[in-house]
Amino acid sequence: MKRIAISIITLLGAFLPWLWFSEICAAASGNPNETGQGITLSPMLDSATLDDGYGMIPFRVENNGIQSVRIIWQRSGAVPLMTFTDSNTRITVARFSGQPNFTGFPGVHPPPVLLNPGETGTFNSPYSMNILAFVAAKHKEIFGGLKGEIVGSNQKFESFSDPFPVPGNLAKPPWVDLGETNYFSVKADLTKGYVNGGTLPDRVDLSEPDYADRIKSGWAEYILFPVEITNTTGQPYVAAPDSVGFYIAGDSSKRSAPSPWETIKTSEPILKPGESAISSGRCYIRLRDLESQGYKQGDKMVAAVGGRVPNTNQVFECYSAPFELPPLPKSGPPK
């Protein structure tokens, strides 16, 4: 009888920590705002971010249990976004969509984060706008999930927030695209351009009489030249001269439209009718990129500029007439 009693006590001693661990998981799947034992997760949607197609959703994580825990970082952050399959199985939104996800920590993960009873932490969940749009189109809700371990044991656990609808402002671009317009006249000024980098001096001006001879024996990294943007309409528009794009004319697959993410954040200059702006020094063509796109001497180029209707989220793009580049040095370094 003594042996039986000891065995029962031993079994209870092994079972009780697992029972508490199960209660943690059960509590975490309930209302994230309720108190009591367990780990609770609450999305902080008012603090969510979105830029250039990617963003972060912060989650408030609170230890309402009676033991200290460590939050373990995963490939997609501490709190990956998840959804349910049609068979009610939990799955990350990235795997559900079949699209690559934004990875917060592709290499060595940060060390686990300690949360003592009563303590709270904030963890960002990275996401891709396209993935959330896919999940929303499938009429699926999302939720955050984390993995952890109980301090002083090898007990692992998972906790989840309540599911919530995909926020509409995180699943679509923050602009209205008016497409291609003729609001701006766009002209490249090759008489004021230059090439530089590599074995060439700081700059070799395109307009120099001996330009062709000076580039024959060297290689360069960039060609730079100003682009003039003129408002040809009867009303003011915001221009984005810092994000001019270039592409080879006639090849729609290589067409480089200005990034609306840059345009939507641009607030100046506001060009009144007839006014002009000149692109900044950020506008350049990398010679190596031209070669990789199959550019050959004589091909025509097009400059593309973005714009925005003032005090709105309406963006548009304007394009120059095709123009020809001067002879270019090789890109390097030579192999």
Q: Which domains does the chain possess?
A: 29-170 (2.60.40), 176-331 (no CATH)
Q: Collapse the DSSP code of 22 into the 3-class scheme (helix H, G, I; strand E, B; otherwise coil) and give the result.
A: helix
User: Ramachandran region of residue 327, left (φ > 0), alpha (ψ -120 to 50) or beta?
Assistant: beta
**Which pLDDT belongs to residue 24?**
35
Q: What angle do CA 122, 124, 126 make, to 5 degrees?
A: 170
Strand bridging mode 314-319 / 176-180: parallel
3-state secondary structure 158-224: EEECCCECCCHHHCCCCCEEEEECCCEEEEECHHHCEEECCCCCCCEECCCCCHHHHCCCCEECEEE
- Could you say which DSSP state residue 229 is in? E
The pLDDT averaged over each successive group of 10 residues in the chain (335 residues) is 37 36 35 51 96 93 92 84 94 88 58 91 92 96 93 89 96 93 94 87 87 87 92 96 86 70 91 93 81 87 94 95 90 66
The pTM of this model reads 0.72
CB 80 within 8 A of CB 95: no
Tokens of residue 189, six digits = 């000024």
Count Cβ atoms within 10 A of the Cβ of residue 48 and give its class: 0-12 exposed, 13-18 middle, 19 or more buried: middle
How far, in whole angstroms, is CA 45 from its chain's centroid?
A: 17
Per-residue confidence (pLDDT) for residue 99, from 0 to 100: 77
- In 3D space, the residue among 78, 238, 94 whose CA is nearest the CA of residue 148 turns out to be 78
Strand residues in 261-299 grouped as ranges (E): 270-271, 276-278, 284-286
pLDDT for residue 82: 95
Q: What is the pLDDT of residue 75?
A: 75
